[in-house]
Chain A
Amino acid sequence: MHTVISTTDLTRTYGDVVAVKSIDLEVAEGELFGLLGPNGSGKSTTVKLLTGQIRPDTGSMRVLDADVLADPVAVRAKVGIIPEQETPPSFLTAEEYLQFAARIRTLDNGVDERIAYWFDLLEFGETRDQLCKDLSRGTRQKLMVAQAFLHEPRLAIIDEPLINLDPVMQRTIKDFLTDYVRHGNTVFLSTHILSIAEEICSSVGILHRGALRYQGGIDTLREEHSSLEGAFLALVGKPAREA
């Protein structure tokens, strides 16, 4: 299987804090890969590194055959990204923001149809004329999901995409992601919610204090530790409480 994300010896520090420590990671095409870890384990830093939003101290990365360090703009052009925090411009309406995103990504054909599809799928068309700054956090998150997939990328790198969303919408997006991967695309999903990974991911990586403690199939982990939660707790040094 073709590798769409690969990192070698990836390290990033913030002052004295080592956020990401010497990570070697590979994600194959068609995977729904979940990067798991406790709060502050380095998940969002890894997402920002892979999308060229920040630079590593050492190491190299390739995403969709592009060198992230040499050409981060090319990577961001190919990939759909949901950032850690939803930050649409305050004074554009929801619809205007999606049109703006389409223009930045130089989409010409079928923009209106694509936007209509996302308003319909995520059920937020009634807010299309509302300023982004006045949208609820959940609706802003829907907007972030829509902009990430508007250009139909082969790879999506998404950071906590289900945060602030109600269970119905979480189900919709989980179904969308599963279907999206079934069509040969790849998802790199960062989350600390194990149930999401357990439900939809085919493989996972587990980060703890910036280091990658495990990478592989989710079924292998379950076989070794009876559950993903048990495996996760064991890998981050917090054994599950005896029943």
Chain B
Amino acid sequence: MALYTLFAAMLKEEWRVHSALFGHLGFALLPFTLVFFAALGALMLPVFTRHIDTGTLVAIAHLAFGLMGMTIGAFGLLGREALNRRFGQASMIAYASRTFPVSNRTIMTAFFAKETLYYFCFWVLPPIIGFGIASVVLGIPRALTPLFLVSLGLSFLFGLSAVFLLSTVYAHSRRALLVLMGLLALGTAAALGATGTPVEALFPPLAFFHDRSAASLLISLLASGAMAAAGIWFVQVEYTGAARHYPNAFRPLTATLSRLRTPHFVAKDLLDLKRSEGGLGKILFSFLFPIGIIWLLLEVLLFILPGLNALAVFAILLAAFSTTIYNWLTEFDDFAPYAFFPVTPGDVIRAKLQTYLMLTIIPVATLVIAAAGFGQMDRLLPSLLAFAGLSSYAVAVVVYCAGLQPNILLYNTRTLLSFIGLVAPAMLALIFISLPDPRLVAAGIVLVLPAALLVDRGERRWSQVEQRLF
């Protein structure tokens, strides 16, 4: 009874958190947006499958859903701090064992069930419906949609269960987690490389997709169930971790950055990034996944339009993905901690943009490495100019559309579509400009002009909008 009551309350709580963050309608429309984009993407399948074999695409889809399960689980388990930043002191039902006569195991079981059902409905089901719609148009066998529903659902569950287990191991011992991760990585590499084991044999949901047997289904369910059960049974909840101490790094960093307009803001942002979970490495990691997608898109784009220059297109796509750096910078605070200081939201945005510009060293370095990799160092400068123009413009659009809250507002369907509507034409224009001669992509630098205008308007816009305060 307590389990069902908790489960139902957690479902309601999850909905209310999201609707408070993103707006009722804005969030309710998100699944429809996912259906639309999934259908659109699936309609491109004939183009993809001409260049990438179907088996690879299926494996990527299953691994992506597994990764999604891991991401959602990780945020669910570690997200209280993020919510505290948004709402002041957030108190979630998941932390209720301190005040209610229920065990941590009961709470975690309800939490796991809630995560599975809620996110299956919001994130797993819509893309599969989108695929189903596209499959009717493309004449793909109809049986594939329900098969995907089960196998991708299992992938999501596998990822979610894995993160429950890993987080429990982490709570007991960081070293044990590192050892476990190391063993898993080595084991996977050995299996794939040395013994030639196919990927699907290591990932039960993918095996089920291929053989559709009851045995594979059972193995997949048992594997997820065992990981979740172990994660829940051995759960160890620590409400307060050890206090962390640091020598003063703010003052020397501010002195180093003294030539900047607001070095103290930049120093604070850099310390936020360095000292928060994952350190500066999370920016690098957040680039690895998009860069993988960029490579995939690049292969397809070059196949459709053979006249394209790989480096120029890479620079354009990289510029669009670089806006995620701004998202990281606004992840740690919004305007609330500054509301009682003599600054406006526009001042804080401008300061975040300074840090953003500093951190674009990461994508710039990536671009230089790509140029060397493509053997096109002679064409690096035009691509760098295009990157500079487009990344400035794209981040300016984020600033204009979402101010200091891109991690929230870009989940609002209208804002997301505005962002896409403003950035996609610029990207397409640059790609087509580069067709006759890749060096022409340098024209992208002119985008710094609308970028400056948009930043100026964005700063004024968000300074006039009343910010969320605690």
Q: Which residues of A contact B (CB under 8 A)?
A: 48, 51, 53-55, 73-74, 76-77, 81-85, 87-93, 95-96, 99-101, 103-105, 129-131, 133-135, 148
Known: A73-B342, A89-B332, A96-B249. 18 other contacts (CB 8 A): A48-B339, A53-B469, A54-B469, A83-B340, A85-B89, A87-B470, A89-B333, A91-B274, A92-B268, A93-B248, A96-B250, A99-B248, A100-B264, A104-B343, A105-B341, A130-B243, A131-B244, A134-B243
Q: Which residues of B contact A74 (CB under 8 A)?
A: 342
Q: Judging by beta carbons under 8 Å apart, are B249 and A53 in contact? A: no
Would you call B271 an interface residue if the criterion is a C-beta within 8 Å of the partner chain's C-beta atoms? yes
Q: Judging by beta carbons under 8 Å apart, are B336 and A104 in contact? A: no
Q: Judging by beta carbons under 8 Å apart, are B245 and A87 in contact? A: no
Q: Which residues of B contact A99 (CB under 8 A)?
A: 248, 250-251, 254, 264
Per-position 1/0 for B236-251, Cβ under 8 A of A: 0000011111111111
Consensus secondary structure, chain B interface: loop
Q: Judging by beta carbons under 8 Å apart, are A48 and B469 in contact? A: yes
Q: How far is the CB of B306 from chain A (nearest CB, A)?
A: 48
Q: Judging by beta carbons under 8 Å apart, are B268 and A131 in contact? A: no
Q: Which residues of B contact A76 (CB under 8 A)?
A: 340-343
Q: Which residues of B contact A (CB under 8 A)?
A: 81, 85, 88-89, 241-251, 254, 264, 268, 271-272, 274-276, 332-333, 336-344, 466, 469-470
Tell me the bound Cα distance from A89 to B251 in angstroms: 16
Q: Judging by beta carbons under 8 Å apart, are A90 and B246 in contact? A: no
Give the interface centre of A51, A101, A131 by most chain B CB atoms within 10 Å: A131
Q: Judging by beta carbons under 8 Å apart, are A73 and B268 in contact? A: no
Q: Judging by beta carbons under 8 Å apart, are B342 and A131 in contact? A: no
Q: Judging by beta carbons under 8 Å apart, are B246 and A105 in contact? A: no
Tell me the bound Cα distance from A240 to B140 in angstroms: 78
Q: Judging by beta carbons under 8 Å apart, are B264 and A93 in contact? A: no
Q: Judging by beta carbons under 8 Å apart, are B248 and A89 in contact? A: no
Contact of A134 among B241, B272, B274, B466 (CB under 8 A): B241
Q: Which residues of A contact B251 (CB under 8 A)?
A: 96, 99
14 A-B contacts (beta carbon < 8 Å): A51-B340, A76-B342, A85-B88, A87-B336, A88-B337, A90-B272, A92-B268, A93-B246, A96-B271, A99-B264, A130-B245, A131-B243, A134-B241, A134-B244
Q: Judging by beta carbons under 8 Å apart, are A96 and B337 in contact? A: no
Q: Judging by beta carbons under 8 Å apart, are A129 and B470 in contact? A: no
Q: How far is the CB of B463 from chain A (nearest CB, A)?
A: 10
Q: Judging by beta carbons under 8 Å apart, are B246 and A131 in contact? A: yes
Give the interface centre of B254, B275, B337 by most chain A CB atoms within 10 Å: B337
Tell me the bound Cα distance from A90 to B241 in angstroms: 14
Consensus secondary structure, chain A interface: mixed
Tell me the bound Cα distance from A47 to B88 in angstroms: 18
Known A54-B466, A133-B81; contact A87-B342, beta-carbon cutoff 8 A: no
Q: Which residues of A contact B274 (CB under 8 A)?
A: 91
Q: Which residues of B contact A81 (CB under 8 A)?
A: 340
Q: Which residues of A contact B272 (CB under 8 A)?
A: 89-91
Tell me the bound Cα distance from A91 to B332 in angstroms: 9
Q: Which residues of B contact A134 (CB under 8 A)?
A: 241-244
Q: Judging by beta carbons under 8 Å apart, are A90 and B276 in contact? A: yes
Tell me the bound Cα distance from A74 to B344 in angstroms: 11
Q: Which residues of A contact B338 (CB under 8 A)?
A: 104
Q: Which residues of A contact B81 (CB under 8 A)?
A: 90, 133
Known A73-B343, A105-B341; contact A91-B264, beta-carbon cutoff 8 A: no
Q: Which residues of A contact B248 (CB under 8 A)?
A: 93, 95-96, 99, 129
Tell me the bound Cα distance from A96 to B246 in angstroms: 10
Q: Judging by beta carbons under 8 Å apart, are B332 and A90 in contact? A: yes
Q: How far is the CB of B240 from chain A (nearest CB, A)?
A: 8
Tell me the bound Cα distance from A93 to B253 in angstroms: 14
Contact of A91 among B88, B241, B276 (CB under 8 A): B276
Q: Judging by beta carbons under 8 Å apart, are A129 and B264 in contact? A: no
Q: How far is the CB of B43 from chain A (nearest CB, A)?
A: 43
When C-beta atoms are compared, the residue in chain A nearest to B250 turns out to be A96
Tell me the bound Cα distance from A93 to B246 in angstroms: 7
* Nearest 5 CB-CB pairings of A with B: A77-B342, A96-B250, A103-B264, A134-B243, A81-B340
Tell me the bound Cα distance from A222 to B88 in angstroms: 37
When C-beta atoms are compared, the residue in chain A nearest to B335 turns out to be A53
Tell me the bound Cα distance from A130 to B272 in angstroms: 14
Tell me the bound Cα distance from A131 to B274 in angstroms: 13
Q: How far is the CB of B279 from chain A (nearest CB, A)?
A: 11
Q: Judging by beta carbons under 8 Å apart, are A104 and B466 in contact? A: no
Tell me the bound Cα distance from A134 to B336 in angstroms: 19
Q: How far is the CB of A193 from chain B (nearest CB, A)?
A: 20
Known A91-B272, A91-B332, A99-B250; contact A130-B340, beta-carbon cutoff 8 A: no
Q: Judging by beta carbons under 8 Å apart, are A105 and B342 in contact? A: yes
Q: Judging by beta carbons under 8 Å apart, are A55 and B466 in contact? A: yes
Q: Which residues of A contact B247 (CB under 8 A)?
A: 129
Q: Which residues of A contact B268 (CB under 8 A)?
A: 89, 92, 100
Q: Which residues of A contact B339 (CB under 8 A)?
A: 48, 53, 83
Q: Judging by beta carbons under 8 Å apart, are B470 and A101 in contact? A: no
Q: Which residues of B contact A89 (CB under 8 A)?
A: 268, 272, 332-333, 337
Q: How far is the CB of A115 from chain B (nearest CB, A)?
A: 11
Q: Which residues of A contact B250 (CB under 8 A)?
A: 92-93, 96, 99-100
Q: How far is the CB of B398 from chain A (nearest CB, A)?
A: 22
